[in-house]
Structure 1
Amino acid sequence: MRTWLWWAASYGLPRALILRQAHRKDPLALFLLESERGADTDRYIEELREQGPLVRRKRLSVTVDHRLSTAILRHKRFSAIVPPRDARSKPVQWLLRKTELGLPNPVEPPAMVRVDPPDHARYRKLVTKPFNHRAIGKLRDQIIAETDGLLDALAVSPNADLMESFCAQLPVAVIGAILGAPKEMHPRLLRWGVGGAPLLDLCPSWRAFRGAADGLREGAQYFDGHINRLRKAPQDNVLSQLIVDGGLTHRELLTNTALLLGAGFETTVNLLGNGIMLLHKHPDQLELLRADPELWPGAIEEILRHDSPVQVTARMALEDLTVEGHDIAKGTVIMLLLGGANHDPTVFPDPYRFDIRRANAREHLSFGNGIHTCLGANLARIEGAIALRSLYDRFSDIKIDTTPPRRATVNLHGYRELPATLVA
């Protein structure tokens, strides 16, 4: 009951409003609910685009405009703490206090994506330090080795679900190395990451939230002990260095570990899966890559732009502002549909065309922008380029056996499975 009451106060009330708006055919509400069903939502993005750069609502405004989204993400007077608890009604604040779950929620402070300066600058400095040139080089070597091992296994059993056997296995091995989790823990890391994905949505259903919360409890219990073990006997990994540096409290370490599991490696999982499907649908683009492997970095950027693994973020105005000619009142919450901004025709001509040679593909907002730009963006790019290039170098053909279903989440955008037959 306690968990349900907390969900009701945090997500249930906003969800009820969205359901009501969907009944009125509001495109934002339909985008959110249809995304949960794994349906195509491009039509709702384009309906919003037709309404202008900033679509104003009483409680939640929205933009799919690339220029406005970029300006908001870079603006210093927008907060990433959305919505702050003190902005909610007094009864809701009381209920949240009474039912506090005590879990390291990856979308609440002190998670890095939900803190503002000066705390954010402190976190960013501490977390950036372990991702130095040496650490990235070591991870690159591991990515190559893990990829080769996964491809060897696929060569033996060429009928496989590529999401399960390839796209998920490589990123979880990398995140396991970052966190110092032994290989036998990888299946559990994967389960916690997949289960926690709905927490990154605006208003997950009770069923989705309950499953995510159960996984969060289990993961928090493990990492509570793991962090204490690393504190006593540090290893050569990113989490150990953060512990040794001593700049983050135990709670901050736990919460940002949950964030890495919920968003860090899941982004790369979907980058790989989305890339395989795009190349399956556009064999002419795959032929270009086979003829000129130097095109792979640009292909990764176009995959990120065309089918963004992360679809949504939000910001709140800390004062009355004018941004790109739009007056925005203090307290206004704006949802930024990053996938929509990545299809803005004023920035990306013919935006729904997949073109690995698109000159400005890297201008996508799939990793955000400004101070909250994804810390692992370059690592994800490296994983994507190595994994996909190696996959298509090893196999002459990859046949997707059926129309694969999308994941039933709003923010983390990808496929639930990719049943395939691989031809050497």
Structure 2
Amino acid sequence: MSTAVSFPLGASTTLAELARDPHPRLALLRAHEPVSWLPELNGWLVTRRDLGLDVMRDSATFTVDDPRFTTARVVGPSMLSLDGAAHTRHREPFAAPFRPRRVHDNFAAFIERETDRLITALEPAGATELRRAFAGPLAVAVVTDALGLVGTTTDTVLSWYDAIVRSVSDITEGLEAGPAGPAAYAQLRAAVEATVADPHASSLLVSAAGQLDVPEVASNAAVLMFGGIETTEAMITNALLHLLQNPAQLALVQADSGLLDGAVEESLRLEPGAAVVDRYATRDTVLGPAAIRRGDLVSVSLTGANRDPAVFADPDRFDVRRAEARLQLAFAHGPHHCLAAHLARLETRIALQRLLERLPGLRLDPQRPATPYGLVFRKPAALHVLWDAPATNR
């Protein structure tokens, strides 16, 4: 029996729909075809949370180590595209600073300073586009500081990131990636080599170079930068959008800053910055209703899993007091759980708290609406906001 007959909802699902407004279609798939064959994806899409966990936990059956893995095609092998002992060897040299007990001590003061510096520059205007004027620069500054990358600027790092993300997205969508991504990665690799060679440098990159070859340090630096910027820029932008779209929830957070953590988790649940994670079947296997063949692409929809009504009651509602919000899978799960998840959470919490404290009357610009968009990475292209700027002295 053909997959079109077995999975009619998957056969009628388009990538354009999943990029534009995926939630209604994902709900249908989750209810009727929780593991469905999508011809446009040329692979399986998993939308139920329990089945997604099965995939992400079992790296022996569902691996990232495949020549088709998109990020590896741009930056080469790294902790993101390896499994087993090779994955551990690549990941472990970078892990220590991102462990929960060390994140606050290592990064909180820097994040607070950088957040305040960015807001001070914005404050007098009363209006801005926050994704590019605030969220992106903050994420880049923190990643650059965390890696200890020398001799570069925030703008340069952001340009590298933009080019690499564009290449990965193009490949994922079946398009031919242009030369900008590999060119950006070559520049990043040169910066990593310069950092490692600097006798005065003391950084995570230098430390990792004691355990990995320099090209391996560079590829892992790229995925950490890529993940750190993309995840955190999306987290800040999406969380602010959710709060400003829900005045009653915003009022709860403003009355009790202890609810900020819940707001961050709930925003991650509703709109994870990374919508899917890709795996490849290493053997014939059965997952839910699907007979998967060796070599098949198996994509887990984190977006779909995060609105699974079996876990999250009234799943489309934004609720900063939701008790089960921490069960969201925005940072994936299993061996490839996001290395810097705790740092991203800390960064987003500080950013939201400072924005709400320092920009009175912060609100969306009604003339310039914002909507998350993207097949792989989801956030608004722009987030235009207004606030009550301080009166100037006359």
Task: Indicate how the Cα distance of structure 1 residues 352 and 135 shifts in structure 2: closer, same or farther if over 3 A, else same.
Answer: closer
Please give the alpha-carbon distance, in whole angstroms, between the structure 1 residues aligned to 2:175 and 2:375: 15
Secondary structure in structure 2 of the residue aligned to 1:129 = helix
Q: Aligned residue pairs: how many?
A: 379
Instruction: Point out where structure 1 has 5 or more consecutive residues left out of the alignment.
Output: 1-20, 88-102
Q: Which amino acid aligns with 1:296?
A: L
Q: Is contact 2:196–2:206 with CA below 8 Å preserved after alignment?
A: yes
Task: Compare 24-33 and 285-294 and name the one that shifted more.
Answer: 24-33
Could you tell me how far apart the structure 2 residues matched to 1:387 and 1:106 are? 33
Q: Which moved more, 1:350-359 or 1:73-82?
A: 73-82
Q: Deviations over 1:229-285 (max 9, x none)?
A: 433425233222212xx2212221221222123322111001111011111110101
Give the letter aligned to residue 413 of structure 1: R
| Structure 1 residues 281 and 384: CA distance shift in structure 2, 3 A | same
Q: Is the contact between residue 307 and residue 316 of structure 2 (CA under 8 Å) also seen in structure 1?
A: yes
Task: Tell me whether 1:260 sits opposite 2:224 in the alignment.
Answer: yes
Counterpart contact for 1:171–1:265, Cα < 8 Å: yes
What's 1:131 paired with? 98
What residue in structure 2 maps to residue 299 of structure 1? 263
Choose the corresponding residue for 2:295, options 305, 313, 331. Answer: 331
In the alignment, residue 382 of structure 1 is paired with which amino acid? L
Structure 2 counterpart of 1:239, from 187, 200, 205 = 205
CA distance in structure 2 between the aligned counterparts of 1:141 and 1:166, rounded to whole angstroms: 17
CA distance in 1, matches of 2:370, 2:248: 24
Decide whether the 8 Å contact of 2:253 with 2:259 is kept in 1. Answer: yes
CA RMSD of aligned residues (A): 2.9
Partner of 2:183: 217
Structure 2 gaps, min length 5: 390-394
Q: Is the 8 A contact 1:179 1:239 kept in 2?
A: yes
Superposition deviation, residue 176 in structure 1: 1.2
Which residue does 2:392 correspond to in 1?
Answer: none
**Aligned AA (1:281):** Q
Are residues 304 and 48 of structure 1, via their aligned partners in 2, closer, same or farther at CA, if it must alter by over 3 Å? same
Q: Please state how far the C-alpha of 1:30 moved relative to its aligned partner.
A: 4.4
C-alpha distance in 1 between matches for 2:111 and 2:12: 39
2:299 is paired with a residue of what secondary structure? strand
Equivalent of residue 171 in structure 1, options 139, 143, 146: 139
Matched letter for residue 321 of structure 2? R
Displacement of 1:136 in angstroms is 4.8
Tell me the residue number matched to 2:48: 65
Q: Which moved more, 1:179-188 or 1:389-398?
A: 179-188
Alignment of 1:176-191 (within 5 A): 176-181=144-149, 185-191=153-159
CA distance in 2, matches of 1:406, 1:287: 22
Task: Answer whether contact 2:149 2:191 (CA < 8 A) is retained.
Answer: no
Structure 2 residue matching 1:143: 3-state secondary structure:
helix
Q: Contact (CA 8 Å) 2:97, 2:106: kept in 1 or not? A: no
Deviation at 1:204, TM superposition (A): 3.5
2:374 maps to 1:414: no
Shift of 1:190: 0.9
SS state at 2:134 partner: helix
Pair 1:118-2:99 in alignment: no
- Counterpart AA for 1:72: V
Letter in 1 for 2:154: H
Q: 1:203 aligns with which of 160, 172, 197?
A: 172
Counterpart residue number, 2:275: 311
Identical-pair percentage: 29
3-state SS of paired residue (1:335)? strand
Question: In 2, distance between residues paired with 1:197 and 1:216?
Answer: 11
Structure 1 residues 121 and 328, CA gap change in structure 2 (3 angstroms):
same
In 2 relative to 1, CA 84–352 (structure 1 residues): closer, same or farther, beyond 3 Å? same
2:35: which partner in 1?
54
Q: 1:30 to 1:329 in 2, by over 3 A?
A: closer
Q: Which residue of 2 aligns with 1:74?
A: 57
What is the SS of the residue equivalent to 1:350? Answer: coil
TM-score where L is the length of structure 2? 0.87
2: CA distance between counterparts of 1:259 and 1:265? 10
Alignment correspondent of 2:26: 45
CA distance in 2, matches of 1:397, 1:171: 24
Q: Is the 8 A contact 2:65 2:82 kept in 1?
A: no
Change (3 A) 1:300 1:231: same
Of 353, 359, 362 in structure 1, the residue corresponding to residue 326 of structure 2 is: 362
d(CA) in 2 for partners of 1:104, 1:72:
19
What SS does structure 1 have at the residue aligned with 2:326? helix
* Larger CA deviation: 368-377 vs 147-156: 147-156
Contact 1:79 1:116 in 2 (8 A): no
Inter-partner Cα distance in structure 2 for 1:227 and 1:241: 13
User: How far apart are residue 366 of structure 1 and its match?
Assistant: 0.5
Residue type of the alignment partner of 1:126: P
CA contact (8 A) 1:62 1:336 kept: yes
How far off its partner does 1:84 sit? 3.5
